[in-house]
């Protein structure tokens, strides 16, 4: 059955809400604003009753799959459980119902929370200071790169190049381009790490920074990191840490100790805040001492008796967004750190890495493992064995839907053919992993015996594979009454 759109269940004069009354003497509208500025027709919005509204969005929610529905081993996305208590905490009136421009003495609790969160994140990453403002990982990258640019400019240097490994997330080169840099791609070596010869060839006085994810997107720790940091710094460049994979090393190692100058974190990954179907996230950015003057305004500081917002920072890059960041997300991350504590955070990395190695070890006899070594929080399989029977990574992903799983990240990183990137996280039990292993083995068998079955998956979802080519060729991006 086709799911109706809310506009299609709309009926004239129905309503789902009451509007506060005009309790002042009302005036004629066009006496207040001349008619030429006014709409002649009301905005075409749905007209539904409250119960219609509830049933519609409840029906939609049942056509959606979240971490609460089942296992979500989506590589590099860290789809861990989102604690319920954190939702309650973010919805406390003292956090949800405060205006960003209230006098600072009326929001001391909020400022204290942000101050303490920034300090904890600085400690976790080994950086000097952290700004909580960026709204997402990519926004944090761009903020960090604008600081790197300001740093070089303050030294009278205009460095135009940013080096990025071929395994990097797409946001890295995109953010560097938006920050005005030219991008140079660095090759990977046969262990999946940075090819040092290739790196050295590109290191010159034009290099502003090297952006690195460690562990990288293959789930492998870059063991030459100290040497890489030395080479980049020697050339006058800075080292940027993409924190997408921090879950692997939290409490075990710190980017600051590895020589990174700028770090961004994804609170919606490592710090258990929900992904929200695409957002909101939060992408705090931490810096080493020499970059502190360039942090965005305002910075949250503390004197003897109060927390305050400091805008008086002459070298700051300025504003990266409105107000102070995705505060509601920050509240959740703060509550998470408090719940986990020092030892709990360490246990996160330990169990995330153990779970990943356990899965990798159990699956590698059935699926090709191009980089066969101890992994960190994730690993990359390849469907090349299955491809011989005409079954591709996409098909395996779709078949997993039939078994009630969210599939792994597929076709990334780009250097692995038919890649399937698997990240179990620490919030999954051994039983869940064992069941997933069993399913993956079943699918491997199906790919041998009945490839057609896998290729035609999914069968059990509310809709089968969609025609994405037509969607892009003749885009329909809004509903109009005449469609259909």
Partner 1 sequence: MGHRFIPNTDKDRIAMLKDLGIDSVDKLFEVIPEGLRIQDALHINDSMTEDELVSHMNKLANRNTTTDNNAIFLGAGAYDHFIPSVVKHLAFRSEFYTAYTPYQPEISQGILQAIFEYQTMISNLTGLEVVNASMYDGQTALAEAATMACASTNRKKVLVSEAIHPEANDTLRLYCKGQSIEVIEIPAINGETDLTELASLITEEFAAVIVQYPNFFGGIEDLQTIADVAHSKKALFIVSVNPIALGLLQSPGELGADIVVGEGQPLGNSLSFGGPYLGFFATSKQFMRKLPGRIVGQTLDGNGKRGYVLTLQAREQHIRREKATSNICSNQALNALLAAIYLAAIGKQGFAELANVNMQKAHYLSERLKAIKGIEMPYNMLFFNEFVIKLPVEIGYANQKLREQNIIGGYDLGKVDVALENHMLIAVTERRTKEQMDQFVSVLEACI
Per CB under 8 A, contacts with partner 1 among 196-235 are 220-221, 223, 225-226
**Choices 43-51, 195-203, 382-390, 447-455; region in contact with partner 1 by CB under 8 A:** 43-51
Q: Is 370 in the site for partner 1 (CB under 8 A)?
A: no
Q: Is 387 in the site for partner 1 (CB under 8 A)?
A: no
Q: Is 190 in the site for partner 1 (CB under 8 A)?
A: no
Q: For partner 1, how many residues bind (rule: CB under 8 A)? A: 203
Binding partner 1 (rule: CB under 8 A), the pick from 89, 194, 383, 421 is 89
Q: Is 312 in the site for partner 1 (CB under 8 A)?
A: no
Q: Is 351 in the site for partner 1 (CB under 8 A)?
A: yes
CB 44 within 8 A of CB 10: no
Q: Where are the beta strands (DSSP E) in 354-433?
A: 379-382, 409-410, 419-422
Neighbours of 446 (CB within 10 A): 21
Q: Is 315 in the site for partner 1 (CB under 8 A)?
A: no
Binding partner 1 (rule: CB under 8 A), the pick from 279, 310, 388, 452 is 279
CB 221 within 8 A of CB 378: no
Q: Is 29 in the site for partner 1 (CB under 8 A)?
A: yes
CA separation, residue 442 to residues 122, 431, 446, 460 (Å): 45, 17, 6, 17
Q: Residue written as tokens 């004069």? A: 13
The token duo for 196 is 């040092």
The minimum distance between CB 387 and partner 1, in angstroms, equals: 20
Q: Is 306 in the site for partner 1 (CB under 8 A)?
A: no
Q: How far apart are CA 180 and CA 193, in angstroms?
A: 27
Choose among 433, 310, 425: nearest CA to 362: 433
Residues in the chain: 484
The minimum distance between CB 366 and partner 1, in angstroms, equals: 15
Q: Which is nearer to partner 1, 209 or 258 (CB)?
A: 258
CB 110 within 8 A of CB 254: no
Binding partner 1 (rule: CB under 8 A), the pick from 67, 262, 333, 363 is 67
CA separation, residue 42 to residues 32, 481, 482 (Å): 18, 16, 19
Binding partner 1 (rule: CB under 8 A), the pick from 202, 233, 338, 387 is 338
- Helix (H/G/I), strand (E/B), else coil: 428: coil
Binding partner 1 (rule: CB under 8 A), the pick from 128, 129, 195, 251 is 251
Q: Is 262 in the site for partner 1 (CB under 8 A)?
A: no
**Choices 203-211, 231-239, 379-387, 472-480; region in contact with partner 1 by CB under 8 A:** 472-480
- Helix (H/G/I), strand (E/B), else coil: 183: strand
Q: Which is nearer to partner 1, 158 or 388 (CB)?
A: 158
Choose among 358, 128, 374, 131: nearest CA to 254: 128
Q: Is 380 in the site for partner 1 (CB under 8 A)?
A: no
Q: Is 43 in the site for partner 1 (CB under 8 A)?
A: yes
Q: Is 450 in the site for partner 1 (CB under 8 A)?
A: no
369 burial via Cβ count (<10 Å: 0-12, 13-18, 19+): middle
Of residues 284 through 303, those in contact with partner 1 by CB under 8 A are none
**Choices 203-211, 234-242, 383-391, 467-475; region in contact with partner 1 by CB under 8 A:** 467-475
Check the CA dihedral 86-88-92-96 and report its sign.
positive
Q: Is 390 in the site for partner 1 (CB under 8 A)?
A: no
CB 375 within 8 A of CB 193: no
The minimum distance between CB 441 and partner 1, in angstroms, equals: 15
The minimum distance between CB 35 and partner 1, in angstroms, equals: 10
């Amino acid at each position: 059955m086709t799911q109706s759109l809310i506009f299609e269940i709309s009926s004239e004069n129905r309503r789902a809400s009451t509007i506060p009354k005009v309790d002042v003497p009302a005036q004629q509208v066009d006496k207040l604003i001349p008619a030429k500025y006014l709409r002649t027709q009301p905005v075409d919005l749905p007209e539904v009753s409250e119960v219609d509204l509830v049933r519609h969005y409840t029906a939609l929610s049942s056509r959606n799959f979240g971490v609460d529905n089942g296992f979500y081993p989506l590589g590099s996305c860290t789809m861990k459980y989102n604690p319920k208590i954190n939702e309650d905490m973010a919805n406390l009136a003292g956090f949800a119902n405060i205006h960003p421009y209230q006098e600072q003495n009326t929001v001391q609790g909020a400022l204290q929370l942000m101050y303490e969160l920034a300090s904890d994140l600085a400690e976790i990453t080994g950086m000097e200071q952290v700004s909580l403002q960026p709204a997402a990982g990519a926004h944090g990258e761009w903020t960090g790169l604008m600081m790197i640019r300001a740093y070089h400019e303050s030294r009278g240097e205009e460095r135009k190049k940013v080096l990025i490994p071929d395994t990097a997330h797409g946001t890295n080169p995109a953010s560097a381009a938006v920050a005005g840099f030219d991008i140079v791609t660095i090759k990977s070596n046969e262990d999946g790490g940075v090819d040092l010869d290739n790196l050295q060839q590109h290191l010159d006085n034009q290099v502003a920074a090297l952006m690195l994810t460690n562990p990288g997107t293959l789930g492998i720790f870059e063991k030459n990191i100290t040497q890489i940091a030395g080479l980049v710094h020697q050339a006058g460049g800075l080292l940027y840490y993409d924190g997408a994979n921090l879950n692997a090393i939290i409490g075990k190692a710190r980017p600051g100790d590895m020589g990174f100058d700028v770090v961004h974190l994804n609170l919606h990954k490592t710090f258990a805040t929900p992904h929200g179907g695409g957002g909101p996230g939060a992408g705090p950015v931490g810096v080493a001492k020499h970059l502190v003057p360039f942090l965005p305004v305002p910075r949250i500081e503390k004197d003897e008796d109060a927390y305050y917002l400091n805008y008086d920072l002459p070298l700051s890059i300025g504003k990266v967004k409105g107000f102070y960041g995705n505060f509601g997300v920050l509240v959740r991350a703060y509550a998470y750190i408090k719940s986990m504590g020092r030892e709990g955070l360490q246990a996160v990395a330990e169990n995330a890495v153990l779970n990943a190695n356990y899965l990798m070890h159990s699956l590698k006899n059935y699926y090709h493992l191009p980089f066969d070594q101890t992994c960190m929080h994730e690993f990359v399989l390849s469907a090349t064995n299955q491809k011989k029977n005409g079954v591709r990574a996409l098909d395996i992903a779709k078949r997993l839907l039939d078994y009630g799983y969210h599939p792994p990240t597929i076709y990334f990183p780009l250097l692995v053919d038919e890649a399937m990137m698997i990240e179990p996280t620490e919030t999954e039990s051994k039983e869940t992993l064992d069941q997933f292993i069993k399913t993956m083995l079943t699918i491997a068998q199906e790919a041998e015996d009945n490839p057609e079955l896998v290729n035609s998956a999914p069968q059990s979802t509310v809709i089968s594979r969609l025609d994405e080519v037509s969607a892009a060729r003749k885009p329909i991006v809004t509903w109009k009454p005449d469609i259909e």
